[in-house]
A and B are shown apart, each in its own frame.
Chain A
Amino acid sequence: KAGVTQTPRYLIKTRGQQVTLSCSPISGHRSVSWYQQTPGQGLQFLFEYFSETQRNKGNFPGRFSGRQFSNSRSEMNVSTLELGDSALYLCASRGSGGVAEAFFGQGTRLTVV
């Protein structure tokens, strides 16, 4: 069973640009959630998608958006990048079993210069 795949692994962007990150969940998982980890901060919840619908959203500005496709792959987009958006972006894939088994991607490390 393939793991959760996040692409790209590393990315450098310039302030003001926009960026799109991708997360391919475990086969059969319909829930994908996204998290941001900035230096010195813990992991903070961005949003969660289930069957192409956003079910829950964290406290982030509207520059952060996401979507999920019919094959459960998810993308998150950050527009008008700021230096403070430099972070590790992590996605998690969850199944619908009772124990809510979840798997984590390795993350995408975004640097904004």
Chain B
Amino acid sequence: KNEVEQSPQNLTAQEGEFITINCSYSVGISALHWLQQHPGGGIVSLFMLSSGKKKHGRLIATINIQEKHSSLHITASHPRDSAVYICAVATGNQFYFGTGTSLTVIP
């Protein structure tokens, strides 16, 4: 059983659509990160959350500690948002990662 589950695995959207990616975890965590990885590129940390909600531009991340669930929302999606989005939870001395959601935004 994976400690972190993400859904959907793949997502295709039209430019301008509102997008939601979900992350559920089964371990106790100290923080949750949303990461972005462009094809062939490195990994960029978008958000770190331990409670509540954070917003950065068109990106919004929320976390519900009681339900062990987090969501990443992208408003007014754009082709440059096409990437893999990875949920990572910090627990103990290491991170556990979801398998990622591959997002393609079509112009």
A99-B31, A99-B50 given; A33·B93 CB < 8 A = yes
- A94 is an interface residue with CB less than 8 A from chain B: yes
Residue of B nearest to A58 (CB): B94
A42-B98, A42-B100, A101-B31 given; A31·B43 CB < 8 A = no
| 10 pairs of A and B residues whose beta carbons are closest in the complex | A106-B42, A43-B97, A100-B30, A107-B42, A42-B99, A56-B93, A48-B93, A45-B94, A104-B45, A99-B50
Looking at the assembled complex, report how far the CB atom of A95 sits from the nearest CB atom of chain B, in whole angstroms: 11
Beyond the given A31-B93, A56-B92, A90-B43, please list 20 additional residue pairs across the A-B interface where CB-CB is below 8 A. A9-B42, A33-B94, A42-B97, A43-B86, A43-B88, A48-B94, A50-B93, A55-B93, A56-B94, A58-B94, A88-B42, A92-B95, A99-B50, A100-B30, A102-B31, A102-B48, A102-B95, A105-B43, A106-B42, A107-B43
Give the number of residues in B that approach A within 8 Å (Cβ atoms): 24
Q: Is the CB of B95 within 8 A of A35?
A: yes
SS of A interface (majority)? strand
Residue of B nearest to A50 (CB): B93
- B59 is an interface residue with CB less than 8 A from chain A: no
Looking at the assembled complex, report how far the CB atom of B8 sits from the nearest CB atom of chain A, in whole angstroms: 15
Looking at the assembled complex, report how far the CB atom of B28 sits from the nearest CB atom of chain A, in whole angstroms: 12
- A64 is an interface residue with CB less than 8 A from chain B: no
Q: Is the CB of B95 within 8 A of A33?
A: yes
A98 cross-chain contacts in B, Cβ below 8 A: 30
- B27 is an interface residue with CB less than 8 A from chain A: no
- B19 is an interface residue with CB less than 8 A from chain A: no
Q: A55–B70 Cα gap in the complex (Å)?
A: 28
A48 cross-chain contacts in B, Cβ below 8 A: 93-94
Q: A45–B97 Cα gap in the complex (Å)?
A: 9
